[in-house]
Amino acid sequence: MAKLVFDIETSALPLEHFDEAQQEYLFRECERISEPAAREVRHAEIQQQFNLWPLTAQVVCIAMLNADTSRGQVLFTAEDYEDEAEGAGPVEFVPCVDEVEMLTAFWDVARHYETIVTFNGRGFDVPFMYLRSALLNVPITRKDWLGYRYQTDPHCDLAEQFTFYNVSGRDGAARRFNLDFYCKVFGIESPKSHGVSGRDVNQMQAAGRQREVAEYCLRDVKATVLLYQVWRDRLSGIK
């Protein structure tokens, strides 16, 4: 059964994208803070969270690999867009003119796969892409990835599997760790080993370093493939 492993990177929309009423709504809790310095800190914290919300951020990169062949594509928006894929190896880097083109290309690939594998895709990547696609009127070819939680087909979310569906809560034996931590304890090269993390994406995008964002996103997916193999071979009932 063909399995698609993917990850996305997102970047906050500029504050001027939102009108006065929207900004008031987004930062409303700041007005309850009387001390100016504390209010400013909370304002910055909320704006940093824009990356996490599909109504205040956009998808800037999607990396995807076939779990069995490790062949795939990295779709990314590029300021110096050229209509030509890069890379002679198993992974193509495909620059896209905008988010619409990138999401359209992703959903065209996704319809050919029976199952997807993610790390926290149920909590973040999938709902983010569903809402961005709906907002931009991009047809979604797979609408079954947020169905019944307690199964791994068609969506195997490793963040769910390594916590056994959050069986022991925040502090128990199966508490949840981030991808970086799981990779290190299972002997997998962390995608953050090159000094880049998701917190850097906004600045990298603004600096025109979209290809570096794409390379970081691909490292995330390669690590997820290896972590999936650990889960499949040592913990799951898959043969």
CATH number at residue 72: 3.30.420.10
Question: Hey, what's the torsion of the CAs at 52, 53, 59, 64, to 10 degrees?
Answer: 60
**pLDDT tens digits for range 37-52:** 999 999 999 999 999 9
- Whether 46 is in a domain gets the answer no
- Whether 32 is in a domain gets the answer no
pTM of the model: 0.93
CB neighbour list of residue 207: distance below 8 Å, 6 or more residues apart: none
- Whether 220 is in a domain gets the answer yes
104-112: average pLDDT: 97
CB neighbour list of residue 193: distance below 8 Å, 6 or more residues apart: 219
Q: Please state, rounded to an integer, the average pLDDT across all residues of the chain.
A: 92
Least Cα distance to 125 among 98, 88, 166, 159 occurs for 159
70-98: average pLDDT: 82
- Whether 21 is in a domain gets the answer no
Please check the confidence at residue 24 and state whether its pLDDT lies above 70.
yes
Q: How many folded domains does the chain comprise?
A: 1
Percent of the chain with pLDDT over 70: 95
- φ/ψ bin of 93: left (φ > 0), alpha (ψ from -120 to 50), beta (otherwise): beta
- Whether 35 is in a domain gets the answer no
Least Cα distance to 12 among 26, 24, 1, 2 occurs for 26
Domain extent at residue 93: 3-12+62-234
